[in-house]
Every structure is written in structure tokens, then in C-alpha cells.
Structure 1
Amino acid sequence: MLLVLGMVLFLVNMITYRNALIEVFNTLEFISKHSDSYLDESELIKFKDFEITPETQYETRYITVTVNDDNGLINYNNEHIAAIDESEIEEFISFVTVSRRQRGIFVYDGLTYAFMKVRQKQGNVKITIMDCTRNLSMVHFFVKFSFYIGALSILLLILLLSIFARKAVQPMVRNIEAQKQFITNASHELKTPLAVISANTEVIEMMSGKNEWTESTIKQVNRMSELISQLVVLSKLEEREDIVLTEVNISDEVNKVLTSFRSVAETQGKKLETSVTDGIIVKADEKGIHELINILMDNAVKYCDEEGTVKLTLNQKGKSAVLTVSNDYADGEGEDYSKFFDRFYRADESHNSEKKGYGIGLSMADSLVRMFKGKINVSYKKPQITFTVIL
């Protein structure tokens, strides 16, 4: 909208200036041809489209000069102009004689003049110079006025947009805050009944022994407790606006996480390949960076194909640290990777429990990376899916 307004004002000013120049040069041409003669009504009809009247010769301020091929002054007539006296004639006309153009505009002593050169039969050149200050000053005033109007309109538009945008966004902000508050409150409220269910199930097992029903109940209670914990962590992450970023040795944190996942990968029959550059420092939060690496490794091991390979690399690229975590994922073609960082999104839309997860981990990873002022993205090149973090 601002661009359109600017283009409209520019075009209007250009058209106005062009029309003013056309009017100036039409008048100048008339003066040049008839400065030494009187026009009768029949001759004036020829100039009716140029707003020429019998008074034009007397209203217009102009001077006529005749020069030879060497620009030497032959004669002049300054009866129709008062701003130029005889002592200034040669200096005044020098602005025109040095120009190779047949007509044009120049400024002298703060006033604007238009000139036109016409070669006469005798071989001399007649120069007509007309004062067009009044004609163009109105155009300049209009340009300045339209600029101020345009600037004021833009400011008013920005003000109105900000007011309406704030009003439009307020319900969304309230909804987001309400969702966060609901998650926090619901998480706390659910902890107590889950604890009671877990305790009662354990009592039943003590009295009647374990069976598939009690084991299933405890498994689902633990699953629900883990989900609640992740929701609380995610909610707190999004509320942390005053986090202080410090220098963290990300290489050390990566090695700590790898130590805990080597046995997990081996137990599941998956191969773990790593390449970690030592001593890489990033601006982050130590606990947060540990959690970020843990989430990416947990996701990679969990969704890696049977007997597949999980790879982790960490290296320095310029001033940034680049962490990549990839895993074999043969069924990755056709996935909508733009949704991988959405909360509760899972590639397995059935949300079955065959692979443990809730679709929260990658959303937490995205929040952590944004909190560290970094970037995270996901890509797929058969048969591997790769998560890349730049800090």
C-alpha cells in the first residue's frame, strides 16, 4: 500500500512537471517567433491550444539576443525584463551560449529561465530567454506539498495499522497465554490423580500379584507422567524471555550426551558414528544446550531404521557452530518436513505406541534454538533424514 501511494505521488508530480515544461516551451516558442511583431486575432487562433492570449507578449518577462557563429554578441533587446541590466548581459547569456542544446532550463541569480535558439536566414542565431520562475515555482510548491501530504499519510497509515494490528492480535495473544496457563494448571492437576492411580496399582500388585492389566496401567501412567513433564518444560521454555546466554563448551556437552546414547543404540542393534571437533564455544544456556542435543539424539535413535546408522557431527564454520544429527529413515520420502517442529506432530499420524513419543521433543528443540538465537532445519536425502543446528 505504501509503495502504491509513493508511485501515485511520483507519477502525479512527474506529469505536473512535464505539463509545466510543455506550457513554458510553448510560450517560449511563441515569444521567439513573434517578439518583434504584433499578432492579430486570426494569428492568435493558431495558438488557442497553448493558452496564448493577446496579453502574452506583455505578461511574459523575456530578453532576445542575437549572436554570431562564434557566440559573439551582435545585439539584444531587454525591454521586457527588469531582472537583468546591461552590465550583466554577457554573463547572463553565457549560460546559454555554452550549451549545445537548442532549448533548456537554467538558474541565474536565484531565478529560473528557459531558453530557445533559432538560426536566422542571415546565419546568425537568435536566442530568446524567458523568466519561468513563476511557472515552475508552483510546480516545486506542489511537489513539496505532495511530499508532506504523502509523508503525513504514510505516518497516519502506519499509526492506524499499528492500532488495528494490535487489536487484531490481542485475542490471539490472550488465547496463547490462556493455552500456556491451561497446560501449566492441567499438568499440576493431573499429577495428583496419576500418583494415586500408580499407588493403587502397586497396592493391587502387592495383594494379588502382577498381571497384564496392572502392568499396562503402570506403563500408561508413566507415559502420561512423562508427557506432562514435557508439556511443563515446553511451557516454561516459551515463557523464558530474560534468559542470560553465556559461553558454553558445546563439544563437552555433545560428548556427555553421546556417552549415554552409545549403549542405547548398541542395545537396539543400531550403529552410532560421530565426529566431534573439540573446544567449540557457543553462546547458550548449559542445561538448555544439553537438553537440545539429548532431544535430537533421542529422536534419531528412536526413529532410526532397524540395524540402521545414527550419525552426529559437530564442527566450526566461521563464527558459528554447526551440529548435524542424522539417521537412516527409508520411509522418509513424501513426508511434510515443514511440520516436523509443530507441537504434537508425528509422521505416524495414527499416534500408536510402537515408537514411544508425543511429538513434543522437536518443538522443544525448536524453542531452545530460537532462545539461543540460532537456526534449526530438517532435510531428507534418501535414505537419511538430517537435523542441522547452527549456533
Structure 2
Amino acid sequence: IGFIFAFVLMIAMAYYFARRPVKVYEQLMQEQQTFIQNASHEMKTPVGSLLLGTQYLDMLEQNHLSQEGKETLAQMKSETKYLQQLVNTMMLETLQTDDLKPINLSQSFDETIRTVEMVHQTTIHKLYKPDLMFAIHPLHARQLLNILLENAHHHNDEHVQVRVSAFQTMNGVQIEVSDDG
């Protein structure tokens, strides 16, 4: 009887000590989720104001802007919409992977490359077809390429030549960002 009691007591203690770190982890994850939701909620208003401001300028001042000003304003609108998507994505618990539809990666890549070219005053060589399709969330495609391009420029000198290539494979799409640095 003493052996059975000791055995049951050991199992109960093992369960208690094993469950305690899991509870702490779950609490930390919940606190992190709450923080992300609160922070993204607070960012929605300024991002919305930025987008509204760029749309206002586009609508009322379009005729008074130079070609470079129009391009810059269009880029500002595009980047503000991207920031708005990032904030909205942070507010979601998860992105639903069930409803992913193929997108034109080339168009998404072109937008991202255009932004990086403006920021770094450079030209990025595009080596991909204009109709490269793949099922991915558009925001993720843009984030992926942006991170790779920013790293290529950040870890090289200002005269680096960067190339982006992408092509279909049997398993999906292969994306390569290379530079001469």
C-alpha cells in the first residue's frame, strides 16, 4: 500500500511540476497576444490618417505636382496601404491558409522593388517572368522580398548591384536575391 501511495504521489508531483511551466508559457503567450492587439489597434488611427492625407493630396493637388511629385505621392500611398495591411494582419490571430489564392508574384515583387529602388537610389535587376503565379498571401510575398532586398543593401556598399530572380519549380517557386558585394 505504501508503494502504491508513493507511486501515485510521484505521478501527481510530476504532473504538477510539468504543468507549471506550461501554464506560465500560456500566460506569457496570452499577454503577448494582448500587447500586439493593443499596439496594432493604437497604430490604426495614425496609419489611417496618413492614407487619408495622401489620398487628399492625390485628389486635390494632382494637377499642381511635378511628375516626380506624382510618383512620390503614389509611392507614399502604396507604402501607407502596405503599413495598413501590416497593422491589420497583426490584429488577426492567424491568417487563414485555407483561402489562399494564387497571386501574380511579379506584380507584388515589382512594387517592392520600386520602393527599395527609391529608398536606396539604385536599380535592381529583375530576372523573372511578368506572370509568375503562386498561392501566397500578398503581404507575405512583399515582406519576404523586402527583407531580402534590405539585407542585400544593408550589408554592402552603396554601389552594390542586386538581382532578383524567381521561377517555378516542381514544389512551388524559387526566389533568389543576389548581389555583387
TM-score (structure 2 length as normaliser): 0.52
Hey, what does 1:183 align to over in structure 2?
39
- 1:312, CA displacement in angstroms? 0.8
Hey, what does 2:124 align to over in structure 1?
272
Separation (CA, whole Å) in 1 of partners of 2:140 and 2:135: 10
Hey, what does 2:163 align to over in structure 1?
311
Separation (CA, whole Å) in 1 of partners of 2:172 and 2:83: 34
Hey, what does 2:91 align to over in structure 1?
236
Aligned-residue identity in percent: 12
Deviations 1:310-330 (A, max 9, x none): 1112134441422122446xx
Partner of residue 295 from structure 1, selected from 117, 121, 146: 146
Deviations 1:183-216 (A, max 9, x none): 0332246569x78xx9xxxxxxxxxxxxxxxxxx
- 1:162, CA displacement in angstroms? 5.4
Separation (CA, whole Å) in 2 of partners of 1:177 and 1:323: 31
Separation (CA, whole Å) in 2 of partners of 1:189 and 1:266: 26
Hey, what does 2:102 align to over in structure 1?
248
Secondary structure of 2:158 counterpart: coil
Deviations 1:247-306 (A, max 9, x none): 425xx3225532673596389553422322677654423x33443356347626864632
Change (3 A) 1:245 1:166: same
Change (3 A) 1:163 1:268: closer
Larger radius of gyration: 1
Hey, what does 1:167 align to over in structure 2?
23
Structure 2 counterpart of 1:291, one-letter code? R
Partner of residue 261 from structure 1, selected from 100, 113, 134: 113
CA root-mean-square deviation: 4.8
Separation (CA, whole Å) in 1 of partners of 2:107 and 2:44: 34
Contact 1:308–1:327, Cα closer than 8 Å, also in 2: yes
Separation (CA, whole Å) in 2 of partners of 1:176 and 1:248: 32
Q: Which has the higher contact order (CA 8 A, sep 6+)?
A: 2
Structure 2 counterpart of 1:299, one-letter code? E
Secondary structure of 1:246 counterpart: coil
Matched ranges for 1:149-228 at <5 A: 157=14, 159-160=15-16, 163-188=19-44
Structure 2 counterpart of 1:176, one-letter code? Q
Separation (CA, whole Å) in 2 of partners of 1:318 and 1:154: 50
Matched ranges for 1:1-391 at <5 A: 157=14, 159-160=15-16, 163-188=19-44, 229=84, 232-233=87-88, 235-236=90-91, 239-249=93-103, 252-258=104-110, 261=113, 265=117, 270-276=122-128, 282-285=134-137, 287-292=138-143, 295-296=146-147, 299=150, 303=154, 305-327=157-179, 383=181
Contact 2:47–2:84, Cα closer than 8 Å, also in 1: no
Greater strand proportion: 1
Secondary structure of 1:324 counterpart: strand
Gaps of 5+ in 1: 1-148, 199-221, 329-382, 384-391
Separation (CA, whole Å) in 1 of partners of 2:139 and 2:133: 14
Contact 2:129–2:167, Cα closer than 8 Å, also in 1: yes
Report how many residues are paired: 149
Change (3 A) 1:182 1:268: closer
Structure 2 counterpart of 1:232, one-letter code? V
Contact 1:269–1:307, Cα closer than 8 Å, also in 2: no
